[in-house]
């Protein structure tokens, strides 16, 4: 028995050394036999202990059912206790009890098992054991009470745990494994008691305990030192929160650093806690080293996470540390690390929608700031840097779409950032903007009340969106939003300057696309100012200079000066860097500017191929600013250059190949309305030029197809491409030469001319309208040339409809500014009909400029009006706005005004003869050849020279002018008036014919009614003696005035009725004869008239512009019979809209009168007894004069002058005009003719009322033409 016991003990010891399971099994077998047969053997207790130990070892091998056996035999050993160390047995038994409890710890009856544990461990406590045994046993019991307190919260257990653990922890040596565990339990017990009792001292005890314990343990052998430091960190941070003692934070950091140093592997929680503490301290004390350490430890935490999805929080913490460092140090490396950390957080999968929104927002902002600094430092190209942000912007936009439930403010913030980035990337040709999505983002960005700075930013962004929208003809180009941003407070010194540049560039864009000339002038002025304030050697300065030059090119193109246009293109090309120094956009633009000169100078295919090969690749121009597919534009440009070079120098095969490539490139162009529309117009123009040189059926078919598409793309004549598109189609039809094709060509040309009128509508004022009219003057001449040629070639039976087309073509080149102004009321009515009453009211009120610097006003009233009128034109009254005059309308107007014919006089400056187009009241149109009506072989040039010297300049030779006037009048009879009068005598056999005359071009300065010839060899006979001549700016404006009911007939207003007449008499006080003239007219004919000026005793006012305008601008007042103005008249040849009557206190300008077009008093006759009141300056065909301005302002008839008239004889002529007007009311033209005949009659009878006026002149000189022939009649 004893031998078996000893052998079992030997095998047990062998097992402990070698861990050979056979030894363990043999030991159990021998010890089982020995214990069961021990009887009362003195070593029985030891054998039982050894057997218990053997069974316990078996538990370690996974034999869980061995635990009760081990407990049973250990209890037997403890109960016997003979020959053994009872304390060791007690400790072992306590450990077995704990093992048994652990097996049941997760069961529902755990409380029962815990109670059993405590009872069992209490039962093995020994009073006489060794101190270490006692400490161990107390540790076990204290641990049990501590666990029961955690489960039940019973205070007795807490107190018992502290009482048992406190002495044990310090009594046990450092190498005892349970010391660390006991210290942890005791520290948490102190913490719990402190919380229950509210005693801060217990937290101090816990901190002191773990510090003391950790200090005496060796981390190399006790891994739970890390746990002690962790607990110490937790207690210190709790005390820090309570006492706000920075030393506790420092101690906590020290503890965590120590724990991190001794931890065998990186611990995510520990590293994260250390990162948070270091970050807090770094932010508190602005310690960038702490912040750097915080970022590092957060990175350690992220890398230590076993689940990558848990790395989001450390990455966010890391990002926060780098952000704080960036704010303090502005170190771009921190900015880069910030962006990377946020990327890590996003990729880890942020668990919360708000966190995702924040991370994407801050990442985009960080990357943008980083890229800006890297570009400034020359480390990367701006385009390349921006390209890396594209996926970030796309991802951020995706988050906005996927997170509809995120916090409203955060969604708004991110929307603002994404919106800004998408626009920036689109501007760099890296992203094609989705306008609808941009608008959604803008709405979302504004959904949460932003700060004022962001409000301004969003206004700027909306302006940029507006510019993109304008690519398809929508919106206001964003100018309204830019103006709103400009009106907001400035947040940094560059804001105003940047906004002004943006406004100028956008106006350049709008002006170039719509033809608004004032926009181009504003852009040029704004860009000049911006360039002046920017260093020329800096990129912004170079870009501003380029924009300014492009604005000048566009402006020059409108003016039609080809030489200036070519010079401007060369200058712009020189401003662009060449080769690799240029970015893709600059290279493309430079090529576009250089190619025209190369082609003009005859560059061959080799040179053209070289420059085409240097164009940027499609990849370099992906995306597209304003929606352009620039890669396609590049291909079209290259093909254009190549085909032109091939037609210049190539063989037939080379031409065919280049032509096919050209057709393919143009067909491939897609994108926004502006790009394809413009390329189609250019392509058809080029194709027509090439086809004129070499026929090509493929190119011909493509040109016809492109022309048809180009026309189809222009939905309304207000589209700037309307005129060139229709003219191209017209040219293609005329190439065919057939009768029907010629008719279609004429019809298309007339359609093209409709766009000319709408371009005038778009202009801010009359002067800009005149420029717009000049721009398309060449189209008018071409259409007229076609119509005349077709009429002359047609059989007489087929001629009338062609001549009707000729009438429309001629009239399309006359008085368009006046026609548009006269239609102001019709425009108002059309806007109301379209449901735009507010816009209609603004139209009548006119455009106001509230900005202190008008060039930065939006100036969009006319754009909005045109846009409104262009909508659904087929279903609205505005479809008839600005329609070309028809022959039927002319016939009706001639009948209503009792006139016999309307005549266009057209001179020739080529070998062809001049001609007249006579539209008779009877419905016939005659084409009258006038071979002598040649401008290059006439006294007209000399007359204009002497006229300018006398009428415009000072010191001119008046005798030379009078002689040239006589020569001009003689030529006028020989060149045309004689044949015209003879031709028209048949129209009114019983009386002199009554003609409405529309002289074309410079012929408008000729006094055709004073054309003369010698009769009987010596006596002059003037045309006025053979015909009544009324002048008109155009058939359209004359028909409109002829269609108005005469004021005196419509309202039966008596000439003597108060308010029915207005007389303006020498308001400046330096025309005494004018005052006499006006006073005599008032006394004799209009005694109750409103009288302004001098003599003061008879006047009700001084005769100021405001007084006159107030009288005119009274649409509800009764119609007036007469307005007579005896004053100075001043013509402004370069700016006819500024021609004016000089009144008291200032001028009454022509454009002041034009603004009354929609709301004015009706007046029967306006008599302008002043100088040059029917002189249009150099814009002859527009016929914008003071006289025609009064027609627009409500007059039925106007009498105006062609030159500076002599004051005294004018007074007498004016008196006789009113005299005959009284005798024959309703026909001012006939009254003027009779007054002029009276001046020619040596046997004239002088009315009593004119006696004083006659005394001021030499009666023998009244017949001199310059005294009477200067006055003309216009209107009804």
Q: What's the burial of 293, exposed, middle or buried (CB within 10 Å: 0-12/13-18/19+)?
A: buried
Same domain, 1156 and 1192: yes
Same domain, 1184 and 1062: yes
1065 close to 1091: Cβ distance less than 8 angstroms: yes
Sign of the C-alpha dihedral computed for residues 357, 360, 362 and 365 taken in this order? negative
Domain boundary among 713, 739, 773: 713
Same domain, 926 and 961: yes
Beta bridge partners of 1146: 1143
Asked, for residue 760, whether it belongs to a domain, the answer is no
Token pair 């009386």 is found at 991
Which strand ranges, in their side-by-side order, compose the sheet holding 1146-1149? 1128-1130, 1140-1143, 1146-1149
DSSP notation for 1080-1095? HHHHHH-TTSEEEESS
Same domain, 1117 and 1249: yes
Token pair 């609205």 is found at 876
Q: How far apart are CA 743 and CA 750, in angstroms?
A: 11
Q: What's the burial of 990, exposed, middle or buried (CB within 10 Å: 0-12/13-18/19+)?
A: exposed
Asked, for residue 796, whether it belongs to a domain, the answer is no
Which strand ranges, in their side-by-side order, compose the sheet holding 914-920? 925-930, 914-920, 901-906, 994-999, 1028-1031, 1271-1275, 1195-1201, 1163-1169, 1120-1126, 1061-1065, 1090-1093
The CA-based dihedral angle spanning residues 190, 193, 194, 195, taken in that order and rounded to the nearest 10 degrees? 130
Same domain, 1064 and 1191: yes
1171 close to 1128: Cβ distance less than 8 angstroms: yes
Same domain, 1011 and 1058: no
Residues in the chain: 1276
Q: How far apart are CA 719 and CA 756, in angstroms?
A: 10
DSSP secondary structure code for residue 331 in this structure: -
Three-class secondary structure of residue 24 per DSSP: helix
Same domain, 557 and 655: no
Asked, for residue 665, whether it belongs to a domain, the answer is yes
3-state SS, 529-574, equals: HHHHCCCCCCHHHHHHHHHHHHHHHHHHHHHCCHHHHHHHHHHHHH
Decide the pairing of beta strands 1028-1031 and 1090-1093.
unpaired
213 close to 172: Cβ distance less than 8 angstroms: no
Task: Note the Cα 817 to chain centre separation in Å.
Answer: 30
Q: How far apart are CA 554 and CA 513, in angstroms?
A: 10
Asked, for residue 616, whether it belongs to a domain, the answer is yes
The H or E element spanning position 1125 is strand 1120-1126
Q: Which domain holds residue 1136?
A: 1053-1275
1019 close to 1254: Cβ distance less than 8 angstroms: no
Q: What is the CA radius of gyration of the chain?
A: 51
Same domain, 1057 and 953: no
388 close to 370: Cβ distance less than 8 angstroms: no
Same domain, 1169 and 1241: yes
Q: CB under 8 Å, gap of 24 or more: what pairs does 85-89 form?
A: 86/126, 86/129, 87/126, 87/129, 87/130, 87/133, 87/134, 88/133, 89/45, 89/49
Q: What's the burial of 719, exposed, middle or buried (CB within 10 Å: 0-12/13-18/19+)?
A: buried
Q: CATH number for the domain including 1263? A: 3.40.50
Q: How far apart are CA 478 and CA 506, in angstroms?
A: 8
Q: How far apart are CA 994 and CA 901, in angstroms?
A: 7
Supply the pLDDT for residue 1215: 97
Asked, for residue 1060, whether it belongs to a domain, the answer is yes
Average pLDDT, consecutive stretches of 10 residues, N- to C-terminus, the chain (1276 residues): 87 90 90 88 90 89 86 90 85 90 89 91 86 89 91 91 90 85 92 93 94 92 92 94 93 94 91 94 92 93 83 92 92 93 93 93 94 89 87 94 90 93 81 86 89 85 82 72 81 70 84 85 83 64 69 66 64 62 62 71 74 63 44 72 83 90 86 73 89 91 93 87 92 91 94 87 85 83 94 94 96 88 85 90 72 67 86 53 90 94 93 92 94 89 84 71 95 96 92 96 95 90 97 93 64 49 95 93 94 92 94 84 95 91 96 82 93 88 92 93 94 96 89 97 93 92 96 96
Six-digit token string for 670: 């897609």
Contacts of 1243 (CB under 8 A, 6+ apart): none
3-state SS, 925-967, equals: EEEEEECCCEHHHCCHHHHHHHHHHHHHCCCCCHHHHHHHHHH
Domain boundary among 713, 733, 750: 713
Contacts of 48 (CB under 8 A, 6+ apart): 35, 73, 74, 76, 77, 80
Asked, for residue 554, whether it belongs to a domain, the answer is yes
Same domain, 998 and 1130: no
The whole model's pTM is what? 0.75
Token pair 């706000």 is found at 244
Q: How far apart are CA 186 and CA 177, in angstroms?
A: 15
What does pLDDT average to over the chain?
86
Contacts of 212 (CB under 8 A, 6+ apart): none
Rounded to 5 degrees, φ, ψ at 1198 are -140, 140
Supply the pLDDT for residue 682: 86
Asked, for residue 489, whether it belongs to a domain, the answer is yes
Domain boundary among 683, 713, 743: 713
Rounded to 5 degrees, φ, ψ at 1224 are -130, 70
The H or E element spanning position 1129 is strand 1128-1130
Spatial CA neighbour of 476 closest among 863, 762, 866, 835:
863
Same domain, 571 and 612: no
Same domain, 1108 and 1222: yes
Structurally, how many domains does the chain consist of? 4
DSSP secondary structure code for residue 1137 in this structure: G
Distances 95 to 56, 140, 1094 between C-alpha atoms, Å: 10, 8, 130
Asked, for residue 114, whether it belongs to a domain, the answer is no
Supply the pLDDT for residue 542: 63
The CA-based dihedral angle spanning residues 793, 795, 801, 807, taken in that order and rounded to the nearest 10 degrees? 40
């Amino acid at each position: 028995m004893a031998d078996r016991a000893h052998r079992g003990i030997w095998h047990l010891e062998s097992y402990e050394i070698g861990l050979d399971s056979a030894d363990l099994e043999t030991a159990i077998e021998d010890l089982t036999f020995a214990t069961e047969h021990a009887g009362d053997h003195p070593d029985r207790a030891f054998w039982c202990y050894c057997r218990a130990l053997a069974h316990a070892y078996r538990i370690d091998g996974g034999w869980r059912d061995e635990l009760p056996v081990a407990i049973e035999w250990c209890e037997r050993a403890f109960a016997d206790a003979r020959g053994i160390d009872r304390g060791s047995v007690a400790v072992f038994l306590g450990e077995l009890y704990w093992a048994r409890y652990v097996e049941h710890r997760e069961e529902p009856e755990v409380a029962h098992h815990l109670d059993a544990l405590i009872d069992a461990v209490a039962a093995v406590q020994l009073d006489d054991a060794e101190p270490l045994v006692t400490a161990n046993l107390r540790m076990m019991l204290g641990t049990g009470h501590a666990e029961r307190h955690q489960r039940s919260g019973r205070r007795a257990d807490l107190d018992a745990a502290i009482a048992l653990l406190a002495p044990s922890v310090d009594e046990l040596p450092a190498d005892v494994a349970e010391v660390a565990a006991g210290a942890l339990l005791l520290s948490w017990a102190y913490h719990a008691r402190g919380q229950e009792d509210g005693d801060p001292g217990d937290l101090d005890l816990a901190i002191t305990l773990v510090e003391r314990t950790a200090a005496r343990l060796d981390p190399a052998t006790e891994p739970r030192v890390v746990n002690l430091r962790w607990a110490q960190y937790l207690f210190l941070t709790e005390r820090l929160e309570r006492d706000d003692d920075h030393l506790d934070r420092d101690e906590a950091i020290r503890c965590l650093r120590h724990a991190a140093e001794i931890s065998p592997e990186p611990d995510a929680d520990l590293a994260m806690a250390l990162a948070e503490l270091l970050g807090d301290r770094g932010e508190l004390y602005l310690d960038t080293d702490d912040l750097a350490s915080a970022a590092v430890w957060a990175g350690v935490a992220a890398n230590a996470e076993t689940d990558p999805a848990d790395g989001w929080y450390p990455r966010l913490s890391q990002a926060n540390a780098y952000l704080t460092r960036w704010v303090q140090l502005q170190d771009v490396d921190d900015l880069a690390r910030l962006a990377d950390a946020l990327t890590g957080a996003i990729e880890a999968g942020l668990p919360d929608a708000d966190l995702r929104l924040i991370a994407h927002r801050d990442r985009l902002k960080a990357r943008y700031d980083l890229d800006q600094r890297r570009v400034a430092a020359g480390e990367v190209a701006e385009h390349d840097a921006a390209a890396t942000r594209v996926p970030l912007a796309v991802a951020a936009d995706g988050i906005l779409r996927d997170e509809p439930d995120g916090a409203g403010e955060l969604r708004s913030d991110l929307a603002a950032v994404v919106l800004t980035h998408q626009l920036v990337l689109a501007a760099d040709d890296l992203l094609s903007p989705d306008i609808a999505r941009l608008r959604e983002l803008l709405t979302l960005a504004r959904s949460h009340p932003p700060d004022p700075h962001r409000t301004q930013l969003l206004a700027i962004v909306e302006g940029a969106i507006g510019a993109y929208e304008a690519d398809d003809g929508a919106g206001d180009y964003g100018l309204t939003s830019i103006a709103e941003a400009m009106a907001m407070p400035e947040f940094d010194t560059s804001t105003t300057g940047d906004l002004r540049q943006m406004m100028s560039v956008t106006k350049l864009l709008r002006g170039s696309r719509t033809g608004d000339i004032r926009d181009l002038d504003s852009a040029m002025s704004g860009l000049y100012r911006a360039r002046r304030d920017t260093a020329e050697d800096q990129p912004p300065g170079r870009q501003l200079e380029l924009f300014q030059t492009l604005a000048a090119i566009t402006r020059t193109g409108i003016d039609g000066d080809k030489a200036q246009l070519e010079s401007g293109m060369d200058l712009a090309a020189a401003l662009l860097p060449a080769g690799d120094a240029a970015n893709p956009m600059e290279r493309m633009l430079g090529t576009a500017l250089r190619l025209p000169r190369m082609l003009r100078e005859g560059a061959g295919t080799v040179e053209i191929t070289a420059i085409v090969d240097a164009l940027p690749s499609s990849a370099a121009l992906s995306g597209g600013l304003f929606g352009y597919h620039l890669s396609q534009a590049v291909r079209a440009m290259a093909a254009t250059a190549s085909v032109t070079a091939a037609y210049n120098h190539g063989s037939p095969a080379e031409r065919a190949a280049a032509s096919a490539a050209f057709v393919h490139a143009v067909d491939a162009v897609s994108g926004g309305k502006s790009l394809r529309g413009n390329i189609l117009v250019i392509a058809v123009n080029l194709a027509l030029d090439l086809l004129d040189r070499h026929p090509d059926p493929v190119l011909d078919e493509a040109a016809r197809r492109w022309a048809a598409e180009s026309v189809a793309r222009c939905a309304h004549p207000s589209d700037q491409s309307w005129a060139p598109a229709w003219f191209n189609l017209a040219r293609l039809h005329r190439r065919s030469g057939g009768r029907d094709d010629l008719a279609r060509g004429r019809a298309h040309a007339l359609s093209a001319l409709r766009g000319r009128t709408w371009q005038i509508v778009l202009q801010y004022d009359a002067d800009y309208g005149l420029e717009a009219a000049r721009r398309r003057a060449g189209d008018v001449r071409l259409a007229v040339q076609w119509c005349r040629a077709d009429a002359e070639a047609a059989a007489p039976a087929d001629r009338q409809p062609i001549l009707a087309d000729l009438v429309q073509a001629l009239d399309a080149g006359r008085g368009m500014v006046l026609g548009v102004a006269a239609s102001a009321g019709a425009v108002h009515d059309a806007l109301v009909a379209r449901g735009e009453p507010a816009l209609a009211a603004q139209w009548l009120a006119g455009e106001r400029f509230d900005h202190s610097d008008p060039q930065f006003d939006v100036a969009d009233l006319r754009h909005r009006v045109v846009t409104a009128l262009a909508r659904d034109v087929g279903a609205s009254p505005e479809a008839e706005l600005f329609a070309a005059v028809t022959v039927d309308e002319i016939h009706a107007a001639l009948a209503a005004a009792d006139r016999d014919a309307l005549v266009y006089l057209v001179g020739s400056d080529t070998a062809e003869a001049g001609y007249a187009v006579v539209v008779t009241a009877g419905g016939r149109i005659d084409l009258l050849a006038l071979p002598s009506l040649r401008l290059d072989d006439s006294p007209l040039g000399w007359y204009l020279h002497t006229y300018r010297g006398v009428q415009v300049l000072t010191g001119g030779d008046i005798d030379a002018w009078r002689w040239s006037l006589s020569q001009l009048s003689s030529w006028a009879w020989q060149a045309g008036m004689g044949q015209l009068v003879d031709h028209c005598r048949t129209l009114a056999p019983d009386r002199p014919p009554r003609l409405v005359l529309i002289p074309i071009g410079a012929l408008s300065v000729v006094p055709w009614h004073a054309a003369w010839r010698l009769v009987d060899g010596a006596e002059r006979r003037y045309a006025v003696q053979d015909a009544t001549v009324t002048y008109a700016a155009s058939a359209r404006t004359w028909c409109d005035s002829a269609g108005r009911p005469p004021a005196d007939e419509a309202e039966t207003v008596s000439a003597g009725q108060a308010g029915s007449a207005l007389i303006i008499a020498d308001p400046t006080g330096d025309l005494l004869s004018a005052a006499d003239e006006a006073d005599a007219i008032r006394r004799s004919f209009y005694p109750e008239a409103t009288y302004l000026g001098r003599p003061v005793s008879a006047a009700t006012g001084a005769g100021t512009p405001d007084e006159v305008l107030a009288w005119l601008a009274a649409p509800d007042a009764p119609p007036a019979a007469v307005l007579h103005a005896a004053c100075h008249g001043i013509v402004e040849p370069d700016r006819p809209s500024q021609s004016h009557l000089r009144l008291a206190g200032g001028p009454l300008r022509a454009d002041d009168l034009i603004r009354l077009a929609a709301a004015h008093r009706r007046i029967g006759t306006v008599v302008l007894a002043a100088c040059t009141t029917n002189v249009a300056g150099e814009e002859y065909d527009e016929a914008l004069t003071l006289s025609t301005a009064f027609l627009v302002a409500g007059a039925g008839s106007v009498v105006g002058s062609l030159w500076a008239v002599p004051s005294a004889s004018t007074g007498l002529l004016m008196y006789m005009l009113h005299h005959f007007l009284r005798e024959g009311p309703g026909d001012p033209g006939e009254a003027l003719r009779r007054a002029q005949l009276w001046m020619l009659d040596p046997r004239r009878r002088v009315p009593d009322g004119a006696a004083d006026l006659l005394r001021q002149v030499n009666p023998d000189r009244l017949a001199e033409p310059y005294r009477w022939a200067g006055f003309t009649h216009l209107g009804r």
